[in-house]
Structure 1
Amino acid sequence: MTRQAFSERDICTKFITPAIEQAGWNIHTQVREEYPVSDGRIMVRGRMHHRAHPRRADYVLSFQKNQPIAVIEAKDASHSLGHGMQQAQAYAEKLDVPFAISSNGSGFLFSDPHRLVFDQAETILALDQLPGPDALWHGYRRWKGLSEETRPVVEQPFYDDGSGRTPRYYQMVAVNRTVEAIAKGQDRLLLVMATGTGKTYTAFQLIWRLWKAGRKQRILFLTDRNVLVDQTKSGDFKPFGAAMTKITKRQVEKSHEIYLSLYQAVTGSEEEKNIYKQFSPDFFDLVVIDECHRGSAAEDSAWRAILDYFSGATHIGLTATPKETTEVSNIHYFGEPIYTYSLKQGIDDGYLAPYKVTRIDLDRDLQGWRPSDGQTDIHGELIEDRIYNQRDFDRNLILTQRTELVARTITDYLTQTDPMQKTIVFCENIDHAERMRQALVNLNPRHVAKNRKYVMRITGDEQEGKAELDHFIDPEEPYPVIAVTSKLMTTGVDAKTCKLIVLDQRIQSMTEFKQIIGRGTRIDAEHDKFWFTILDFRKATELFADPAFDGDPEQVYVPGDGDPLLPEEGDDADDSGDENDLTSEGDGSPTDPTLPPEGHWEDDEDGGIGEPPKKYVVDDVTVAVIGRRVQYLGPDGKLITEELTDYTRKTVRAHYATLNDFLRHWEASDRKQAVLDELAQQGVFWEDLTSEVEKSLGDTPDPFDAIVHIVYGQPALTRRQRAAKARQSDYFTRYEGQARAVLDALLDKYADSGVATIEDTKVLQMAPLDRLGTVVELAGAFGGKAGYREAVRALEATLYADAATAG
């Protein structure tokens, strides 16, 4: 057998792997094959989803495990030596390494754009000329500017418990960059990682390597929620064992090396501040601040006092949403992010759940409302004569029918999809949340009768609701199902199974918006959570179109200009008095002692202390839905804002300009489902399209018919009509006995569930085919597997014969 006949796998096994070993690489500790650089993007289609193919680098070469230095992309011998180079370079860029290598088994093409090892950008090497680990590690350190003195720190391996759990590529890059920066003497660093991408695990690996290398011996990890401290201690940080302790308000021990603490446990009253002052200012070598966009971003925050006190330590800020306003700045304190892994990247890689948006427009929100002359509210208060709009609703003016309509829309959605899916409803304030809770309770009597906790208000002013937060986020706990909140659940809530986020809150802060969206981005395959829906009643999702949504943060705070500029009215709402709704889990104390008592009216946007603004309550103003639009994430990571049919028309015609083009491709394809999957990758959503056509047909059409009807204007048939026409053709006269019975059953399966079902050989194991014989016997009725597959292809040709004529 010649090398030209070898598959890519053969090329790897027979040529590339031996060459790697010959160059001195330890195949067990320094070489990773099929290294994952994505899980495959999740594409949502109606209520269904599928994953794109995961992306894997053929080989990743590392000096120490999980410290890559080079990527090798392999191709079979029918390709040129450099055919895989651009793919290897793309992987090398993602893995933050300088060397990309391509091979077809005859040798290597070595990309070294910085001329770290060779004297040209790309060099052709024989199989026995691949550089070894010492040469590439030396080149890597030159590229990173790492001196000989940094080696004990940067060469310290990641934690490995032998379970097979290793950092994902972006977590590895984040840790490596941070460790290298600290080794070079940098002492203020910012890591930006989208919610759900494993910031705590990343922090653990980072601390572990610095601690084990002896570079940082006493470390303080700060967060703002007691539940997060406890989860961290018993979860990702568990390997620290007895070296770790939790700081409380009652006890300070100085015999440990890893300290976990709430901000609140070491700030607040003078007595509480004395807790952290019991440590000397130079006690800690490293302070890691989780959710650093919160209080530590502001120079006058009580939380900042901790960082100022331990100013001699290295400070690392972790956040999904760095805060940059005219008053506060993470970048001013920590510097530009050393690494950013965004929501868009996470969704594109398939590590985060994508979303679809249903935007619901209410007439009063868009048109406004003005009281009649002398009109009073239900309390007899004379309503101030002016036009009230969306900004006023549930703050200055309560339209009770608006609340009921929103609650009814939420209930209808849950009824049509899954009434037990975890749902978070974000309201304007605590009062609005309570009214929404009541409306949802009254609209769901059957579920509430089964369990009174079906709907719970979870806000910072009420202990009963707050006590249910842990149950809501626990995937194994069915109740509560619907959590109604205002601010408490915007951050630090790991709600893996949350499938529905409802926005009935006016959101002006990009930081807050990102945090809210982050409540739904976690994937939980065990509980069938791969994507989530956003119901938007306040136009909040227009922020998706803002370049700042997934762009790099820009510093707008300028120190030294005297008093900081006041934010524009309504801006940065997440730092208003609503934050008293963000209380700690342990003792109920507020996160910032400067905030007023819980339940005070400052839960409104104004955030000031004093008399609450006047609220009018009106119960006789009708409210109606006047617009509803579903938007999906397209393949470019942006929401598709066109009408679904227009988008489909444009997308399909970009691939197949005419009906004949499409039909030729359809007929030539061995698997029709492959054509549909190919278009689905471009954002063609079959379930919604077929439901559009179904309205006129009265029954379910084939996705094929949805295409030819919507894109090319051809008449559409239902699946049952296609099946009936196929039965009347002479195709079936070719078969008899068991073969004829199999084809009849396949046709029924097609009519019930579509072409994908009959193209999968597993259909032979399903009822009623399983009653006709074993898989081997049924295939044997057609002369074997090849004959069976040919019969299915002929059946498909018969099903779509009329389309060929139309083309």
Structure 2
Amino acid sequence: MNEAETRAEHIDPALAAAGWGVVAGSRIRREYPITLGRIEGAGKRGKALTADYVLEYRNTKLAVVEAKAWNKPLTEGVGQAKDYSGKLAIRFAYATNGQGIYGIDMESGVEAELANYPSPDELWARTFASQNIWRDRFAEVPFEDRGGYFQSRYYQDIAIERVLAAIADHQSRILLTLATGTGKTFIAFQLAWKLFHSRWNLRDWQREAEPSRRPRILFLADRNILANQAFNAFSAFPEDALVRIDPADIRKQGRVPKNGSLFFTIFQTFMSGQDAEGQPAPYFGDYPPDFFDCIIIDECHRGGANDESNWRGILAYFAPAVQLGLTATPKRKDNVDTYQYFGEPVFVYSLKDGINDGFLTPFRVKQIATTLDEYVYTPDDTLVEGEIEAGKRYEEADFNKI
């Protein structure tokens, strides 16, 4: 009996007998794709990783099952089961040849033969020993996949779960570090989707009360192209829930927009604004400090969490909010403030990880010298506004000021 026959005649019925795919909210993900395989060039890739079964309950991955043919040893698939479980950050793994079940608890290290698979409720209770009402509420909200069109990658799921777990545990400063091109905006969207539909908000979160309203979430970037990209990526939300904060609209309306659930803007917009006497009066001060329940700071290493940045005042003003920093930059000397402000990342997915998994393209470094980040005024340049010092070399830090 080959593996396909073993799965159809023995493994699938055993999983169904335990309630998988039968109990409401449970699901069996067969041939679950994990990685694509490293890009090797000439149209070739390394070996992709695919799990035979991933068991889900309440929109949460709880176990990996690695299947082998009937005539194979029971523990033949243990190594793969452990590898896949570790990759997916799932606690429980099982190996089977259809005749028996070998279970592994990746957290405790306990391994043993089992008479049957645990039920969805049993596995949930083992995974989450302590009660947490917000974790349960988040779990009840499925990811938005637009009818299967949006398929998340395994590391994106882990990042989302880690952030939600941190929020459920009342952590108010959270950091995610993921390489450029790995879908941080997609992660932000799914997080907002979960918070929005679970009706999570600061007041009820702090009081452990029943949800009474939807949250107000601010997506804060340092460039319009990033804010616009996020605004468009969040199009699955109701149209009246989305608000693009624009200085021209504020001047036209005479006030900052407050009707909505998801707000998008850049630091520069929030730092602009004047009072009736023409004195600087940043627009962010027109919102109460506790107006936003959650603030997602894209590319947070660029300045928002920098001790010397003018933009840091925005985050300090909205201190009551849960603040999530997104960055592609690993910890180093020039961004240590970011890590001091948010704390250590709840999840890291590096450039190396992305390349090895096949989600990013390998590259070769070619060093060149440019002056793109430097400027020296010359008499034939046109000064549009402000003051400039002749002969001074202006660098990137000078360009990012209001």
Match for 1:214 among 199, 218, 224? 199
SS in 2 for 1:13: helix
Give the superposition deviation at 1:83.
1.1
2:95 paired residue number: 102
Go from structure 1 to structure 2 and tell me whether the alpha carbon gap of 1:160 and 1:431 turns closer, same or farther (over 3 Å shift). Answer: closer
Cα distance, 1:241 vs. partner? Answer: 2.6
Query: Could you tell me how far 1:125 is from its partner in structure 2?
Result: 2.0
After superposition, where does 1:278-357 map in structure 2 within 5 Å?
Answer: 278-322=286-330, 324-325=332-333, 328-357=336-365
Residue 132 of structure 2 corresponds to residue 153 of structure 1: no
* Partner Cα separation in structure 1 for residue 131 and residue 270 of structure 2: 37
The AA in structure 2 aligned to 1:254 is K
Report the more deviating stretch, 23-32 or 337-346.
23-32
**Which residue of 2 is the match for residue 13 of structure 1?**
8
Question: Is 2:178–2:328's contact at 8 Å kept on the other side of the alignment?
Answer: yes
In terms of Rg, which structure is larger?
A: 1
1:37, distance to aligned residue in structure 2 (A): 1.1
**Aligned counterparts of 1:17 and 1:192: Cα–Cα separation in 2:** 38
Work out whether 1:592 is the aligned partner of 2:401. yes
Given the alignment, which residue of 253, 260, 268 partners 2:264? 260
Q: What CA deviation, in whole Å up to 9, does each residue of 1:303-349 have, x standing for no partner?
A: 11111010000000001004542785111100100000001110010
C-alpha RMSD of the superposition? 2.6
Measure, in 1, the Cα distance between the counterparts of 2:112 and 2:281: 61
Amino acid corresponding to residue 223 of structure 2 in structure 1: R
For 1:592-621, what per-residue CA distance to the aligned partner results, in whole angstroms no more than 9, with x for missing partners?
A: 22xxxxxxxxxxxxxxxxxxxxxxxxxxxx
State the alpha-carbon separation in 2 of the partners of residues 338 and 162 from structure 1: 29
| CA contact 1:194–1:341 (8 Å) conserved in 2 | yes
Query: Does residue 190 of structure 1 match 2:188?
Result: no
**1:150 Cα deviation after fit:** 3.5
For residue 300 of structure 1, report the CA deviation from its aligned partner: 2.9
Match of residue 428 from structure 1: 371
What is the CA–CA distance in structure 1 between the aligned matches of 2:341 and 2:131, rounded to whole Å?
A: 25
User: What amino acid does structure 1 have at the position aligned with 2:337?
Assistant: S
Q: Distance in 1 between matches of 2:88 and 2:311?
A: 35
Q: Is contact 2:305-2:338 (8 Å) kept?
A: yes
The structural deviation recorded for 1:284 is: 0.6
Correspondence 1:122 to 2:126: no
Report the equivalent of 2:159: 174
Q: For 1:251-650, list aligned pairs within 5 A.
A: 251=250, 252-268=256-272, 270=274, 273-322=281-330, 324-325=332-333, 328-357=336-365, 427-429=370-372, 577-580=395-398, 591-593=400-402
CA distance in 2, matches of 1:36, 1:69: 16
Residue 356 of structure 1 aligns to a residue whose secondary structure is coil
Could you tell me which residue of structure 2 aligns to residue 52 of structure 1? 46
Query: Which secondary structure state, in structure 2, belongs to the residue aligned with residue 239 of structure 1?
Result: coil
Tell me which protein shows more strand as a share of its residues.
2
Asked whether the equivalents of residues 132 and 168 of structure 2 are also in contact (C-alpha less than 8 Å), the reply is no
Counterpart of 1:26 (choices 17, 21, 26) is 21
Q: Is the 8 A contact 1:8 1:76 kept in 2?
A: yes
Q: Percent identity?
A: 38
The alignment status of 1:83 with 2:71, answered yes or no, reads no
Letter in structure 2 aligned against 1:188 = R
- TM-superposed deviation, 1:297: 2.6
For structure 2, list consecutive stretches of 5 or more residues without a partner in the other structure: 202-214, 251-255, 377-381, 385-393
Give the letter for the 1:428 counterpart.
T
SS for the counterpart of 1:189 is: strand
TM-score by length of 1: 0.43
Instruction: State the match for 1:36 in structure 2.
Output: 33
Verify: 1:134 aligned to 2:121, yes or no: yes
Distance 1:428 1:243 in 2: 43
Give distance in 2, aligned partners of 1:238 and 1:426. Answer: 43
Separation in structure 2 between the aligned mates of residue 176 and residue 93 of structure 1, nearest angstrom: 15
1:242 aligns with 2:60: no
Find the aligned partners of 2:105 and 2:336 in 1 and give their Cα distance.
42
Q: CA deviation at 1:78?
A: 3.1
TM-score, with normalisation over the residues of structure 2? 0.84
Query: Which amino acid in 2 is paired with 1:354?
Result: P
Question: Unpaired runs of 5+ in structure 1?
Answer: 1-5, 360-424, 434-460, 464-575, 582-590, 594-807
SS in structure 1 opposite 2:37?
A: coil
Change (3 A) 1:175 1:431: closer
Change (3 A) 1:429 1:160: closer
**Residue number among 62, 67, 72 corresponding to 1:74 in the alignment:** 67
* Counterpart Cα distance in 2 of 1:232 and 1:326: 27
Structure 1 residues 84 and 327: CA distance shift in structure 2, 3 A: closer
Structure 2 distance, partners of 1:234, 1:275, is 23
Using the TM superposition, give the Cα deviation of residue 163 of structure 1 relative to its aligned residue in structure 2, in angstroms: 3.2
Deviation at 1:577, TM superposition (A): 2.3
| DSSP-derived class of the 1:293 partner | helix
Q: Write the deviation string for residues 411-439 of structure 1: whole angstroms up to 9, x where unpaired.
A: xxxxxxxxxxxxxx861346799xxxxxx
Q: CA offsets per residue over residues 497-531 of structure 1, 9 Å max, x none?
A: xxxxxxxxxxxxxxxxxxxxxxxxxxxxxxxxxxx
The CA distance in 2 between the partners of 1:308 and 1:198, in whole Å, is 27
Is the 1:281–1:312 Cα contact (8 Å) retained in structure 2?
yes
Output one character per residue of 1:707-730: Cα deviation in whole Å (capped at 9) or x when no partner. xxxxxxxxxxxxxxxxxxxxxxxx
Contact 2:135 2:164 (8 Å CA) reproduced = no
Q: What code does the residue aligned with 1:293 have?
A: H
Aligned partners of 1:247 and 1:194: how far apart in 2? 28
Taking the aligned partners of 1:114 and 1:324, their CA distance within structure 2 comes to 31
The separation in 2 between residues aligned to 1:58 and 1:430, in whole angstroms, is 50
SS of residue in 2 equivalent to 1:253: coil
Q: Is the 8 A contact 1:69 1:97 kept in 2?
A: yes
Equivalent pair of 1:248/1:265 in contact (CA under 8 Å):
yes
The separation in 2 between residues aligned to 1:337 and 1:21, in whole angstroms, is 38
Conserved in 1, the CA contact under 8 Å of 2:273 and 2:283?
no
**Structure 2 contact 373–395 (Cα < 8 Å) conserved:** no
What amino acid maps onto 1:23 in structure 2? A
Equivalent pairs, count: 363
Q: Which has the higher contact order (CA 8 A, sep 6+)?
A: 2
Equivalent residue number for residue 389 of structure 2: none
Cα distance, 1:335–1:357 mapped onto 2, change above 3 Å? closer
- The C-alpha deviation readout for 1:117-172, integer Å capped at 9, x for no partner, is xxx8112123xx21111011111112xx5535642134432223213322110000
**Per-residue displacement from partner, 1:245-280 (whole Å, max 9, x unpaired)?**
111113221110110111111014655743111111
Q: Which residue identity is paired with 1:312?
A: P
Residues in 2 aligned to 1:288 and 1:98: alpha-carbon distance in whole angstroms: 29
1:204 and 1:237 in contact (8 A); partners too: no
Q: Matched residues in 2 for 1:282 and 1:218: separation?
A: 10
Instruction: Quote how far apart the aligned CAs of 1:88 are.
Output: 0.8
2:159–2:347 CA contact under 8 A, matched in 1: yes
For 2:217 and 2:153, the matched residues in 1 are separated by 24
